[in-house]
Amino acid sequence: MKALILSAFARPLPSAKPIPMVAKSIYKVVNNRRLFHSMLRTASLAGKPLAKGKFIRHRPLFLSDLTKDRSLPAIAAKPFRDIFKTIKQPECREKVVFYAGCLIDFAYPKMGEAVVKILNKAGIEVLFPENQTCCGAPARYNAAYDVAAQNAQDNINALLENSDESYVISACPTCTVALDREFIETVESIGKHDQIAKAKQLAGKVIDFSTLVKKLVDEGRLTLKEREKLGKITYHDSCHLKRTLKADQPPRDLLTQSGYELEEMFECDACCGMGGSYSLKLPKISGSILARKLTNIKAAGADIVAMDCPGCVMQIRGDLDQDGADIKGHFE
């Protein structure tokens, strides 16, 4: 039987029950970036006794279920949006806007740094609008449409504030889908006709990171280092990257061009069980899907498993850490 896919392709029914006020309050806190920063920094300090390296393996009391079968990433002491201000970039004629999303901003800022470094090498300057916020996927997929609509409008205005950028890039497939497609649907659904044209303008600029890098390599603007074979690597397909964006080939091309021997795992495009908040709401189902994914990763016989989604990174790396497997989870 194929693994159940928990990703957020299934939309809530119109008759879905109203979202509890507690849930709406959580979404609103996430969208208030200054407040969210403060809470995460506090959590980062409080979590130090529970952290080992890059992971938190145990949560106290009622939070213990979050780390029962997997480790969670230790919260970054400094979010990407603060680190970005310290990055020295060359002045380039071409500019792109980078949309980081929540996980890269607060848990994996080094991914954001790598995005900037690579694009700078191609002669592209990266812009990071401070007013960008959550893409709204968690709220949208849990039927909190008013919160998702505000997310869409805030991000449309923030990401289009610079008129001379060539692309708006994202290194998170779920966020890319939101920017490219769901913002349009969201503003249409609430009758914000003045925002529809802007949402479509934004969608016309959106591109996922791997697709852009492959394009730059093909154009000769980026050169992959020529080196000896780096060993075997296997690749996990993000649900949104493959099924919605149809962009599963560029990362594979980049990996093989970089010198890796790609060993495809069984069910490479099966969900890892993350599915955003569903992994927290349905931990048993999520855990069984994740266990199957880990089995397939091990069977591939590779030292590294690569992926393009920070959510998948959190899910798979956390399980590999708990399992003690000698396999590295690598963000392609």
> What's residue 41's pLDDT?
64
In which order are the strands placed within the sheet that holds 167-170? 124-127, 94-99, 167-170, 206-208
The pLDDT assigned to 16 comes to 43
Which residues pair with residue 72 across a beta bridge?
Answer: 56
5-to-79, 292, 331 alpha-carbon distances in Å:
31, 12, 21
pLDDT at 206: 97
pLDDT of amino acid 46: 64
At residue 119, the pLDDT reads 97
User: Under 8 Å CB-to-CB from 207, ≥6 apart: which residues?
Assistant: 167, 168, 169, 176
CA atoms of 104 and 118, how far apart (whole Å): 16
pLDDT at 17: 47
C-alpha triplet 25, 319, 114: angle, nearest 5°:
75
Angle separating helix axes 33-46 and 21-31, nearest 10 degrees = 90
pLDDT value for 37: 62
Number of neighbouring beta carbons within 10 Å of residue 324:
6
Per-residue confidence in pLDDT tens, the chain, 332 aa: 333 334 433 344 343 445 666 566 666 667 776 677 667 667 666 655 555 555 444 443 333 444 455 566 777 888 899 999 999 999 999 999 999 999 999 889 999 999 999 999 999 999 999 999 999 998 888 888 888 898 999 999 999 987 778 999 999 999 999 999 999 999 888 888 888 999 999 999 999 999 999 999 999 999 987 666 788 999 999 999 999 999 999 999 999 999 999 999 999 999 999 887 777 778 889 889 999 999 999 999 999 999 999 999 988 987 786 665 666 655 54
Nearest to 216 by CA among 258, 183, 254, 263: 254
267-278 per-position pLDDT tens digit: 999 999 988 777
DSSP symbol at 282: S
Are 276 and 209 a contacting pair, CB within 8 Å?
Answer: no
Q: Give the chain's domains with CATH numbers.
A: 80-213 (1.20.1050.140), 226-331 (3.40.50)
pLDDT digits (tens, 9 = 90+) for 11-59: 443 434 456 665 666 666 677 766 776 676 676 666 555 555 554 444 4
pTM: 0.85
- Spatial neighbors of 60 by CB under 8 A, at least 6 apart, are 50
Distance of alpha carbon 10 from its chain centroid, rounded?
19
Amino acid identity of residue 120, one-letter, is N
d(CA 28, CA 134): 10
Helix, coil or strand: residue 154:
helix
Which structure tokens are listed for 151?
Answer: 């997310």
